Structure 1
Amino acid sequence: MQISKTPSAPCWAELSTPDPGAARAFYEALFGWRSRPAEGAAGDEYRMFALDTEDGHLVAGVGPVSGPRRSAGWLPYFQSSGAEAVAARVRGNGGQVVAGPVPAPGQGRQALCQDPAGAAFGLWEPLAHAGFEAVNVPSSFCWFELLTRDPAGAVDFYQAVLGWGTRPWPAGASGPDAYTQWTVADDAFGGMVDMSAGPFAPGTPPHWNLYVAADAPDATAARCAELGGRVLVAPTTVPTGRFALLADPQGATFSVMHGAPGV
């Protein structure tokens, strides 16, 4: 996945949490991120995470839970050149616009949506804030994965709403061994997992799982546990590399990956 200004590409990741201060401390210690106030935000509740590098490229945002988001979680945003029109397509294809589109003063325009199965995602129409300043480097986001029990319906929805393409991985694979990748302009940025075919608890809702690139997933998982988080899936080797599924102390889940999930 590359940084892309193409409409419909992933452009931002946002953490909603009941304790933003504790969450900032956790991710700063885990990934070395630095937090700073967001331009145009009122007060100090919403902040930006940046890489701890000379350039300090922005990688994510963090703020308190509010409105329909009652629990901690990571939300992907997809770029839109016209949030109102895309929101109308969400409604017209069986999804739900939970909030917005509304302005983020001076920065852009946003909406919170759900696909027909209930997986939440955001739309972002950029002004001053274009979104990610780094992806696919250590401690930045590198992959966006939808977990759903209706993969065929998800393909229909996201193709109609955002114009995404799909392709099987490995190339030419079919049936239970195939993994569906999402593409924009033939660039793979994420994938899809059929929850009905895996070891998911019946009550686990459809959702987006966001991956952070990590040079050493084993060490990152161990550090997560030391900081009060949980290791939900221990570091595991897969054909594209090695990953782990983690949760922060407030319960927001995310994955870390070393490798190339988009090959």
Structure 2
Amino acid sequence: MPEMTEYRPGEPCWLDLASPDGAVSKRFYRELFGWSSYTLTQDAYGDYEVFTLGGPDGPTTAGLQMLADPDQPPTWTVFFRVDDVEETGSRVLAAGGQEVMPPMQGMHLGRVAMYTDPEGADFALWQPFGREGMEVLREPGAMCWVELASRDIEGARRFYGEVFGWRPVDYEYYRSAPYTNWEIHGDHVGGMVFMDERWPPHWVAHWIPYFWVTDCDATVWRAADLGARVTIPPTDIKPGRLATLADPTDARFAVITPDLTFEG
């Protein structure tokens, strides 16, 4: 499989799962996607689990750490590549976002900071010192898409345009409402779906990762057997067959079997 060695500013480059039970999360994703993992240990930061594809020495796919605050919900956080964490963080605040974790050293690997957008969707910034991010992308068992669920589409378009320079482009993937693709220089970096009245009213705006699987239905059945909750059952849309789930700790994610003939 080709390995990713470089990401451009504004592209999603890493995923981090904050879990209240690391053992449960590690077992679930290892069994669901066939991941392996290894542990990074530094006294100042605590243990950090790194998931890999194709064995412990395989390319990295995501990270896992314990929730710092037990009152916070388990969540997958999407990291976006930037050239300067402080400068991009200033744009986040100027555009109406909130700082969750100020810029800091991410061990010896880079600089990191965490924010929420004006609706409360959390995300992170990553300025690498050599380690760009996920070493495998858009392959079975790896991340292939990130998506923002928002109730304020126009506000999100403005915010992320000001922060990352993204251009929103609407596509008719669903019958009910247009779907927004975020683009940089004509390349897709993620998407946005409108949270209409069919969404649970207590759900706040959020980012989720999509993982490529070869059989959406079989993966969903397997996930349910492993303790996941299905929030959207396998559904056909133009880009492929997808489903959304909450893992055994209630962190949300999606799986998709892409339609490789689709162009959009």
TM over 0.5: yes
Q: Amino acid of the residue matched to residue 63 of structure 1? A: Q
Q: How far apart are residue 39 of structure 1 and its match?
A: 6.9
Aligned to 1:240: 239
Q: How far apart are residue 160 of structure 1 and its match?
A: 0.4
Q: Amino acid of the residue matched to residue 149 of structure 1? A: R
Consecutive unaligned residues of structure 2, counting only runs of 5 or more, are none
Aligned to 1:28: 30
User: 1:53 and 1:231, CA in 2 relative to 1: closer, same or farther beyond 3 A?
Assistant: same
Q: How far apart are residue 178 of structure 1 and its match?
A: 2.1
Aligned to 2:193: 193
SS at match of 1:38: strand
Once the two structures are superposed, what CA deviation does each residue of 1:172-193 show, in whole Å capped at 9, x if it has no partner? x9x9642110112211121111
User: 1:25 and 1:54, CA in 2 relative to 1: closer, same or farther beyond 3 A?
Assistant: closer
Q: TM-score, normalised by structure 2?
A: 0.91
Q: How does 1:28-177 map to 2 (within 5 A)?
A: 28-38=30-40, 45-52=47-54, 56-67=58-69, 70-170=72-172, 177=177
Aligned to 1:229: 228
SS at match of 2:23: helix
Matching of residue 208 in structure 1 with residue 210 in structure 2: no
Q: Amino acid of the residue matched to residue 246 of structure 1? A: L
Q: How far apart are residue 238 of structure 1 and its match?
A: 1.1
Aligned to 1:251: 250
Q: TM-score, normalised by structure 1?
A: 0.91
Rounded Cα–Cα distance in structure 2 between residues aligned with 1:133 and 1:100: 26
8 Å Cα contact 1:39-1:107 kept in structure 2: no
8 Å Cα contact 1:102-1:109 kept in structure 2: yes
8 Å Cα contact 1:247-1:254 kept in structure 2: yes
- Equivalences, count: 259
SS at match of 1:146: strand
Q: How far apart are residue 198 of structure 1 and its match?
A: 4.6
SS at match of 1:158: helix
Rounded Cα–Cα distance in structure 2 between residues aligned with 1:44 and 1:246: 29
Rounded Cα–Cα distance in structure 2 between residues aligned with 1:85 and 1:193: 28
User: 1:135 and 1:39, CA in 2 relative to 1: closer, same or farther beyond 3 A?
Assistant: farther
Q: How far apart are residue 98 of structure 1 and its match?
A: 1.0
Rounded Cα–Cα distance in structure 2 between residues aligned with 1:262 and 1:210: 21
Aligned to 1:178: 178
Once the two structures are superposed, what CA deviation does each residue of 1:42-73 show, in whole Å capped at 9, x if it has no partner? 57631100002596110100000115971211
8 Å Cα contact 2:45-2:107 kept in structure 1: no
Consecutive unaligned residues of structure 1, counting only runs of 5 or more, are none
Q: Amino acid of the residue matched to residue 111 of structure 1? A: A
Q: 1:14 aligns with which of 13, 16, 26?
A: 16
User: 1:243 and 1:67, CA in 2 relative to 1: closer, same or farther beyond 3 A?
Assistant: same
SS at match of 2:47: coil
Once the two structures are superposed, what CA deviation does each residue of 1:76-116 show, in whole Å capped at 9, x if it has no partner? 00011100001111111110111111101211111110001
Rounded Cα–Cα distance in structure 1 between residues aligned with 2:7 and 2:43: 23
Q: How far apart are residue 167 of structure 1 and its match?
A: 1.1
